[in-house]
Structure 1
Amino acid sequence: MQIPKPFLGAIGGSFLLIQLLFLGNMSYLYGNVFNDSQRMKAFTILLVDYDDSIVGQSVKAAYSQLESPSFPTLIEHSSTDYPTSNDIRESICKGHYWGAIYVNPNASSRLSAAIASPKAAQTYQNTEALTYVWNGAKYPSYAQVISSSLQILVQGTRSAYNALNGTAAMSTANTTDTNIAHVLFDPIGAASIDLKPTNQGGRFYYNTVTMVMVILPQFFFVMALNGISAETKIFETLSLRQNIALRLGISVFFTFITSLCMSGYIWAFREDWATTHSQFPLTWIILWLAMHLHFFIMDSVTAVLPMKFMPFFVLTWVIVNVSSTLSPFELSPGFYRIGYALPAYELYQVLIDIWTRGCNPTLYRSLPILFSWWLIGIFAFLAATRRRVLSLSISLESRGATISDPEKV
């Protein structure tokens, strides 16, 4: 059997290009999270000590033992910087810190009283010593890391207190009293505050698979639209203005319904996730904007890129966009901060802002970037449609045929 050399050359080239495509894209994807466990110190946690006594000292001693590249960085501020606990919550809400832990006022005196008095020990609640705060809706998988780190810090504080003051307290305490013994055994605990509890199973999809589904339907539909347009000779039948109006109308309607469907299944599987009436339409609107700009991008690229190269573009576009939402940029190598300019990252930031009722104030950046992509997309879409009609007109003229409506350009 004689196999033509052009065939072998083409197959060999495709073989090599496909390997490089997936190797490059997956290396980019994996590189985003490579050794991220050793960059956890990039997460910052606020410490405020309203007590200024042994409990606060124990927190700092515990952190000194836990401090490492794999543990978030504890940053202490005075109570004058954050006069109330609401100020601390506001700081987390604004994204200044990933979490916070604070020592409640009079925590040490309550603990000392409980160790000294059976009556005080009976009413003592160790969770009144500390409080920690985090935002469960902001990168849910990493929010769990923050929550777990804060819990570890609380456990370490308990051990540090025993090391600093346990022996002295035990030497003077009435250890035969059950309540006092219980206090000595478990002196320090913490109350936890999740600014936006996000415990539904689907939470791990919001910044991963969901971002893919914003892009892929646009590609599939654009391919179908192009195929149907070619079969029905719609470019020959309609003028340039009519073609633009038709495709623009179809793009608006398709992305409008697709974004509604996505918002619908996010809400249908939200379980006990607390939402408001305004969050659904806001989610729908921002998803529509993102899907529409991706539609423009896909439609424009298909007008200039040969079909055999479309998989290279689509896969790469999906990977770079999804990579920007997989994990916080604090954990990624600096190069990956190019994701700030990508629509998927800014879309996810807006969604967090919507779902947390403003606890991710990046709209000043995210909305202009998304609208910029949309404007670039619509200009590219207009140019692409014009190119399609002109190319067809030239092709028909070369065959001696004419288009029904000469008012094309």
Structure 2
Amino acid sequence: MAIPKPFLTGVIGAAVSLQLLILANMSYLYGTAYRDGSRFSTMKMLYVDYDGGVVGQSVTVAYDQMRGPGFPSLHEHSQEEYPTRQDIQEAVCKGDYWGAIYSGRDASSRLAGALFSSETAEAYDNSQALGYVYSSTKYPAYSQIVSSDLIQLAQAAAGVYKQTNLTTTLSAINISDPYVAQTLLDPISFTPTDISPMNQGVRFYYNTVSMVMPIIIQFFFIMAMNGISMQNNMFDTFSARRNTILRFIISICYTFIAALVMTGYIWAFREHWAVSSGQFALTWMAIWLAMHVHFLLIDFATAVIPMPFVPFFVLTWIILNVSSTIGPFELSPGFYRIGYVFPAHSLYEILLQIWTDGCNPHLYRALPILWCEWIVGVVLFVVGMGLRTKASFKTLLSKEKSEA
């Protein structure tokens, strides 16, 4: 028995369409990180020299040796602009810089004193020579890179100091003294400051997998609700207005519970992450708003897109949203800044604002975008429900005519 030609055509068409869809979506996703190593110089780091001596100069020389497209750019500012370490932390907190490094006050004179005095060397703390500041909460995978680069810069500065200063003073140093010898071997170290610590293992999921779930669970629930509504003839029994109100109420309740569940498992695996009950509530509300936006948009899509192609839309919607949160826009080609319009990006920006106690001041942009999308989603939702009811009514009329 011959295989029907329409069957073969349909199967081949579906296979080709799916492969093209996957190719397009994954090309877009992979493009976010394509050659991102050549764009690390777009990530800015602050440097303030409180020392004004050879230790502070060593940082500048070390950066000149490491400067390149694969290393964050170092921007030096004066003590007058950043009088205290708190000012440096505030600059990183505001998002002006990904991190900062600074030399300790009188670091050079304290180090010189330790090299020529056993008593001073005994009390010398090399970790006070340099310090660096970063935030491990902001894009955890990339904040680790920033921290690593700051450590490399501090270590390189120590190497520069040894090469340029110790060789000229070695003959005058009493290397038989154990404290002086220890200072000679390790003259410069650093003190790290993480302004918003986030060390739990699941932190890498917050801007990746966790951005998928708010979309997936809306799609599954909408598909289930559509099937249940058709089985119970809801579109034939109730008016368009009543169906719309009922479905809208259900959407609010469902996303409210789903957001609570998502917030719950984030908190359940927080380990030693220091977050409060107030941050729990704010996280819950932020996730709820994003989930409801996804619900409204996907519900409209299922009303206007033929059912065989709805999964194509949902997959594309997932990839577009995840691509907007998987990494900072500084490291992606400029085209990817279109990601500002996707709900997932706004949600992640709001969550960073909540989790860092305000150290990601983009709420002024993210929240209005999300609310505007919610308003658009409500309008589209109403339009979609009208189309559903109209289509159901036409189906009912044609069925009655055929039976007559």
Same fold (TM over 0.5): yes
2:48 and 2:102 in contact (8 A); partners too:
yes
Per the alignment, residue 210 of structure 1 pairs with 210
The amino acid across from 2:26 in the alignment is M
How far, CA to CA, are the matches of 1:371 and 1:284 in structure 2? 16
Structure 2 letter corresponding to 1:369:
I
Q: Which residue of 1 aligns with 2:106?
A: 106
Q: Provide the C-alpha distance between the structure 2 equivalents of 1:83 and 1:201, rounded to a whole number of angstroms.
A: 36
Once residues 394 and 253 of structure 1 are traced to their aligned partners in structure 2, the CA distance between those partners, rounded to angstroms, is 30
Moved over 4 A (4+): none
Aligned to 1:120: 120
2:236–2:396 CA contact under 8 A, matched in 1: no
In the TM superposition, what whole-angstrom CA distance separates every residue of 1:351-389 from its partner, at most 9, and x where no partner exists? 000000000000110001000111111100011111111
Equivalent AA in structure 2 for residue 135 of structure 1 = S
Alignment of 1:68-217 (within 5 A): 68-217=68-217
Give the secondary-structure state (helix, strand or coil) at the position aligned to 2:277: coil
Query: Deviations along 1:252-285, whole A, 9 cap, x unmatched?
Result: 1100000000000000000000012210000000
Partner of 1:24: 24
Q: Greater shift after overlay, 87-96 or 63-72?
A: 63-72
Per the TM alignment, residue 198 of structure 1 is displaced from its structure 2 partner at its CA by 0.5
Q: Secondary structure at the match of 2:32?
A: helix
SS of the residue aligned with 1:102?
Answer: strand
Shift of 1:38: 2.1
Amino acid at match of 2:99: G
1:171, distance to aligned residue in structure 2 (A): 2.0
Deviation at 1:399, TM superposition (A): 4.1
Verify: 1:222 aligned to 2:216, yes or no. Answer: no
Question: Deviation digits for residues 328-347 of structure 1, max 9, x if unmatched?
Answer: 11111111111011111111
Which one-letter code corresponds to 1:309 in the other structure?
F
AA at the equivalent of 1:358:
G
Quick check: 2:212–2:322 contact (8 Å CA) kept in 1?
A: yes
Equivalent AA in structure 2 for residue 144 of structure 1: Q
In structure 2, how many angstroms separate the alpha carbons of the residues matched to 1:19 and 1:41?
36
Unpaired runs of 5+ in structure 2?
none
Match of 2:9 in 1: 9
1:296 aligns with 2:296: yes
Correspondence 1:324-339 to 2 at 5 A:
324-339=324-339
Q: Distance in 1 between matches of 2:22 and 2:394?
A: 37
Q: In the alignment, residue 193 of structure 2 is paired with which amino acid?
A: I
CA–CA distance in 1 between the matches of 2:363 and 2:16?
Answer: 43
The amino acid across from 2:203 in the alignment is R
Q: Give CA deviations for 1:56-100 in whole Å, capped at 9, x if unaligned.
A: 110111111111221111111111111111111110000000000
- Distance in 2 between residues matched to 1:384 and 1:39, nearest whole Å: 43
- For 1:256, what is the secondary structure of its paired residue? helix
Q: Deviations over 1:232-264 (max 9, x none)?
A: 101111122211111011101100000000000
| Count of residues in Structure 1 that have an aligned counterpart in Structure 2 | 401
Partner of residue 322, structure 1: 322
2:50 alignment partner in structure 1: 50
What residue identity is the alignment partner of 1:282?
Answer: L
For residues 4-34 of structure 1, give each alpha carbon's deviation from its aligned partner in whole angstroms, at most 9, with x where no partner exists. Answer: 2222222221121111000111111111111
Is 1:394 matched up with 2:394? yes
* Alignment-derived partner of residue 67 in structure 1: 67
User: Which residue type is aligned with residue 394 of structure 2?
Assistant: I
CA distances 1:164-222 after superposition (whole Å, capped 9, x unpaired): 10112312111111101111110001101001111001101000000000110000000
Give the deviation of 1:397 after TM superposition.
Answer: 3.0
- The unaligned stretches of length 5 or more in structure 1 are 402-409
User: Once the 2 structures are TM-superposed, how far is the Cα of residue 396 of structure 1 from its aligned partner?
Assistant: 2.4
**How far apart are the structure 2 equivalents of 1:121 and 1:395?**
90
Report the Cα distance in structure 1 between the residues aligned to 2:365 and 2:67, rounded to whole angstroms.
33
Q: Within the alignment, does 1:370 sit opposite 2:370 as a pair? A: yes
Q: Distance in 2 between matches of 1:7 and 1:99?
A: 59
Query: How far apart are the structure 1 equivalents of 2:56 and 2:214?
Result: 47
* C-alpha distance in 2 between matches for 1:148 and 1:102: 16
Distance 2:311 2:240 in 1: 28
Q: How far off is 1:129 after superposition?
A: 0.6
What residue identity is the alignment partner of 1:293?
V
Task: After TM superposition, give the deviation of residue 400 of structure 1 in Å.
Answer: 4.3
Contact kept, 8 Å, 1:42 with 1:72, in 2: the verdict is: yes
Distance 2:324 2:276 in 1: 28
Task: Please give the secondary structure, in 2, of the residue aligned with 1:393.
Answer: helix
DSSP 3-state at the match of 2:360: coil
**Structure 2 Cα separation of the partners of residues 9 and 269 of structure 1:** 49
Using the TM superposition, give the Cα deviation of residue 40 of structure 1 relative to its aligned residue in structure 2, in angstroms. 1.4
Partner of 2:260: 260
- Cα distance, 1:102 vs. partner? 0.5
2: CA distance between counterparts of 1:37 and 1:80? Answer: 34
In 2, Cα distance between equivalents of 1:96 and 1:185: 36
Letter in 2 for 1:76: E
Counterparts of 1:209-288 in structure 2 under 5 Å?
209-288=209-288
1:33 partnered with 2:39: no
Cα distance in 1 for partners of 2:203, 2:181 equals: 42
Conserved? CA contact 1:51–1:106, under 8 Å: yes
For the Cα contact (< 8 Å) 1:115–1:169, is it kept in 2?
A: no
Q: Over aligned residue pairs, what C-alpha RMSD do you find? A: 1.0
For residue 308 of structure 1, report the CA deviation from its aligned partner: 0.5
Q: Is the 8 A contact 1:133 1:192 kept in 2?
A: yes
Q: Which amino acid counterpart does residue 336 of structure 1 have in structure 2?
A: Y
Residue aligned with 1:87, SS: helix
Aligned-residue offset at 1:286: 0.3
Secondary structure at the residue paired with 1:52?
coil
| TM-score normalised according to structure 1 size | 0.96
* Cα distance between partner residues in 2 of 1:98 and 1:147: 9
Secondary structure of the corresponding residue to residue 290 of structure 1: helix
